[in-house]
Amino acid sequence: MSDLRFEPTMVREPKTARELFEAVKANPARARFGFGSRLAVVNVDLQQAYTRPDLFPKTAYVTDPDQIAHVNRISALARSKDMPVIWTHVAYKPDGGDAGVWGTRTDTPDSLQNIKVGSERHAFDPRCEIDEARDLIFTKRMPSAFFETPLASYLVWRKVDTVVVTGGSTSGCVRATAVDSLSHGYRTIVPEQCVADKHESYHFANLTDLQLKYADVVDVREVVDWLEGRNA
């Protein structure tokens, strides 16, 4: 048996998650995945349980006050270029059983598995500009928008090579969707102003991880400029 033993090499430094993200974002040598030729906008869980602190203060979160306005803008631009827009929200059947093990940690009125289909918590934020005739809209049950949903086959059908992920939370369903997007072979873009989380630390730590490994974290203006420069 080998007797090799190493001391911990994990870096420890007195920087906040925001400071670490800003340092990574400012690195000009960091390679990017970039945009391909055809994108889809995947708007993750912009539902009242997570976007309306006036109604659901225990579960909702706001990072950029203009988040939904930015999401609406890039979604409208994508439609104008005949590129797909997808909206997900999460909810469960009356007994919450389809939440599986994810729904076993707590059981309060605010718990995940108690978001019921058709409830106020399940409803999309009324500020979301959804084109029900054109957009793909579905309820998911697990963090990733890809898991046991029609998303993967829909993106293949629409000949997409780039996925723009918006919504919340950055550390939860946005991250899970972005990781699965990369795993499915898509260039993955996360517009910084279009994602949100409950705590600054979670938000920026996960933006850092996404930028280093799974996605390009960009200013929303970059997505707008790319879409405006495409032919319909």
Cα 60 to the center of its chain, rounded Å = 15
Distance CA 45, CA 108 (A): 20
Q: Report the amino acid identity of residue 209.
A: D
Q: Where do the DSSP E strands lie in 30-130?
A: 39-44, 85-90
Q: In 10 A of CB 150, how many CB atoms?
A: 12
- The runs of H, that is alpha helices, within 26-120 are 48-51, 67-80
Kindly list the catalytic residues: 173
Distance CA 169, CA 51 (A): 10
Distance CA 216, CA 191 (A): 8
Beta bridge partners of 168: 196
| Phi and psi angles of residue 123, each rounded to the nearest 5 degrees, phi first | -65, 140
Q: Of all helices (H) and strands (E), which one includes residue 136?
A: strand 136-140
Residue recorded with tokens 């500009």: 129
